[in-house]
Amino acid sequence: MPSSPTPSPTPEPSGVRRRSLLGAAAAAPVLASLAGAGSASAAPAASVASATAGPAGGPRALPGGGDLGPNVIVFDPSTANIQGRLDEVFKQQESAQFGTGRYALLFKPGTYSGLNAQLGFYTSIAGLGLSPDDTTINGDVTVDAGWFDGNATQNFWRSAENLALVPVSGTNRWAVSQAAPFRRMHVRGGLNLAPDGYGWASGGYIADSRIDGTVGPYSQQQWYTRDSSVGGWLNAVWNMVFSGVEGAPAQSFPEPPYTTLETTPVSREKPFLYLDGDEYRVFLPEKRTGARGVSWGNGTPRGTSLPLTQFYVAKPADSAATLNQALEEGLHLLLTPGIYHLDRTVEVNRAGTVVLGLGYATLIPDNGVTALKVADVDGVRLAGFLVDAGPVNSATLVEVGPEGASADHSANPTTVQDVFVRIGGAGPGKATTSLVVNSRHTIVDHTWVWRADHGDGVGWETNRADYGVVVNGDDVLITGLFVEHFNKYDVQWNGERGRTVFFQNEKAYDAPDQAAIQNGSIKGYAAYKVGDDVTEHEGWGLGSYCYYNVNPSIVQHHGFAAPNRSGVRFHGLLVVSLGGNGQYECVINDTGSPTSGTDTVPSKVVQYP
């Protein structure tokens, strides 16, 4: 690992200290300014229920708006004992990796001082202004790894959004791994991505954020930063990827392993809840092409907004039938924190529908259904929720567009952002394919699709899941793709003109033997497979790791497989064996040096072909 001003650990095989050995254990214009919040109550100042007409002109049977529920905790600058309430939630959530608690901590616009908001599992913190600078915390929003002996590789499922921070020490600590987005944040200082003691961490995601000081990854194995501004970037371990980031390191892969794109091809920031006076609204950022830097640079982001009265504010006790009724009546969905059990598919059939989760709201299909399906329509926005496979196998968990979808959505694509999928870990779960993207021009912006390698209900057949992400639609873009541990292909891409900016993968740890992963004549299924008939595809900054700890003799032929033709191009590829537990023979197809011995040293391919 590159030297740095702060002592760092001697790199050990990250997987050894990582998860496997831990297994036991119609929108209105936005106002240019936002009125200050007036209430001192910690109760949500939600919109009043509405009897607005439904799509057929008759009254809606279900109301829009309403109370945000007990697990959305809203503060204003005059709220008493904010720190005590933050500490109470953290104490409950700090080590509750597979618990049922879900929380959203929301701060009304204003200035708060002397706070340290420590975030545990399934906890989201966010400001309620239109701009991050509307809500300033003179203090910290901290993720550390004391609960896990300084190892941050399991610091999943938590988020920070839409706040300005003035860190007490000058540097804020955000030691996370997968499914922990840092969005629309302004850090007036530095950002440390490593835990106290500089133990391992397994890589995360920053978007639409401004870090005035230096970002120090230290022991972070990989990281993706999009459409942001940084005052500097300290080091790289295996795979650091930047697109549209002012102040990013120059392109230098393979050494140091920085993959840098000047702009992001297409982006549209995640929807977010905010306050307009005393009324909640949901802001819908506009699409940007060739994006660079933050979307809120002039203080007011570009886009439109919807009043909360146009949303059905869902509660965990709501059935799938109720959620579908709300959608059929023309409402959007706001999923308040909690666990939603579904006995049928939630169907999003109307163009422009928003499904927004708070506090890691979690959908579980109980009887083998698909949790959520989107029709082949324009401009759907799915954001901020977790889908957990149920005990009965689902053929798919999330489908964006039906099979054979072909409509052109280039002007108004569907976006899937901070939608995470899990199979096993919290209990037995099975799914043949987790996320299927059939609609053209879909943008998937940050997902972690994970077949669990630790927790409850984990085993080669116990939480069987053959495919992680399958892309059949043309012109799909994925920015920030994390997919791990599937029994066959982690990513299978059949659509034309697909693009991926950043990919992180681990092959399944628990394969019992070579025969279990054999793919015809090929040793193992590639982590990322481009269909044989595809003529155009491009990827930047992609890594695959193996840690076959159940049977370290397993050989994986390659991490990446793709047609060998000029229109299929990759930039910055790597594979690595963690501590010699299994080996790769090649990086992509038959190209690239094998991994060797017990050295946890990546084998890299700069360009392919």
Residues taking part in catalysis: 506
- Residue 391: closest CA among 485, 462, 468, 319: 462
Rounded CA separation 595/583 (Å): 6
DSSP-assigned beta bridge partners for residue 375: none
User: How is residue 22 annotated by DSSP?
Assistant: G
How many Å apart are CA 496 and CA 502, to the nearest integer? 18
Burial of 553 (0-12, 13-18, 19+ CB in 10 A): exposed
Pair 211, 229: CB distance under 8 Å: yes
Distance from chain centroid for Cα 256? 25
Rounded CA gap, 375 and 570, in Å?
Answer: 31
Contact status, residue 183 vs residue 270, Cβ threshold 8 Å: yes
Neighbours of 13 (CB within 10 A): 19
Q: Would you list the DSSP string of 105-151? A: EEE-SEEEEEEEEE--TTEEEEE-SSSGGGEEEEEEEEB--GGGTT-
CB 385 within 8 A of CB 335: yes
Distances, alpha carbon 270 to alpha carbons 181, 236, 267, in Å: 11, 27, 9
**How far is residue 177's CA from residue 126's CA, in Å, rounded to a whole number?**
19
Sheet strands (E) in 147-292: 158-161, 164-165, 171-173, 182-183, 186-187, 190-192, 204-207, 210-216, 222-226, 229-233, 239-243, 258-261, 264-268, 272-276, 279-285, 287-291
Question: Which one-letter DSSP state was computed for residue 91?
Answer: H
Kind and range of the H or E run holding 388: strand 381-388
List the structure tokens of 404: 């054979």
Q: How far apart are CA 66 and CA 194, in angstroms?
A: 40
> In sequence order, what are the residues at sequence separation of 6 or more whose Cβ sits closer than 8 angstroms to the Cβ of residue 213?
170, 171, 187, 189, 190, 191, 231, 232
Rounded CA gap, 557 and 523, in Å? 5
Other C-beta atoms closer than 10 Å to the C-beta of 325 total 17
The pair of three-digit structure tokens given for residue 121, joined into one six-digit string: 């599992």
Nearest to 481 by CA among 470, 473, 472: 470
CA contacts within 13 A on the Cβ side of 193: 32
Tell me how far CA of residue 492 lies from CA of 467, 469, 558, 574, in angstroms: 8, 6, 14, 18
Q: CA angle, corner 211, sides to 120 and 262, nearest 5? A: 115
